[in-house]
Amino acid sequence: MSDHPSSVISARVRHVEALLESRGLLEDGEIDGRIDEFLAGGSPANGARIAARAWVDPGFAERLLADANGAIRELGFSMAGGLQEQRLKVVANTAEEHNVVVCTLCSCYPIALLGPSPGWYKSEAYRSRVVRDPRGVLREFGLELPERTRISVWDASAESRYMVVPRRPEGTEGLSEEQLAGLVTRKGLIGTAAV
């Protein structure tokens, strides 16, 4: 597979990694270790905890929407998965507006908060169509929104990641924060499903 377009990039990455190791700037295998560590802590349960806290704590919800990176640190989470912290923007669904996340260039995604991205999120079909026809794509996911609900599509990048706080389901007032977190799915945190 050496003729695959990504093989040139992979070779360059391996070369730079080897240079950094040979100059003592990285220890042998340090990058792989950091990636493994980062992926091990990433889970949709993390994002679910954040959404549930926002549902039960209006002050936290306000801080989360204003400065997501700062707010998630209150729960012990961070977007520092590499050499620099990625910017996290959290948007909240309401009766008037539904948010959905995409990365039109590749598959940028808050792994630390949602775990590894699902295959459909990386697909060219999702990445191109959700921008042009978000209502139709959401319908294919089984999410039928009222025509009056505005749909906002947020495009992630290498520097910025997005997460959706879904609308809290009606009739959940008596549930604990932990029980509420159990209702939240990765699709809900991306915006392709309701809770």
Query: Are the beta carbons of 112 and 78 closer than 8 angstroms?
Result: yes
Q: How far is CA 33 from CA 30, 38, 39, 57, in A?
A: 5, 8, 10, 36
Residue 108: active-site member: yes
Residue 103: active-site member: yes
Q: Which of 7, 22, 106, 123 is catalytic?
A: 106
CA distance 120 to 126: 7
- Count of beta carbons in the 10 Å neighbourhood of residue 184: 24
Residue 107: active-site member: yes
Residue 22: active-site member: no
CA distance 78 to 86: 9
Alpha carbon 142 to chain centroid, angstroms: 20
- Count of beta carbons in the 10 Å neighbourhood of residue 49: 21
Instruction: Report which DSSP code applies to 82.
Output: S
Query: Are the beta carbons of 16 and 10 closer than 8 angstroms?
Result: no
Catalytic residues: 103, 106-108
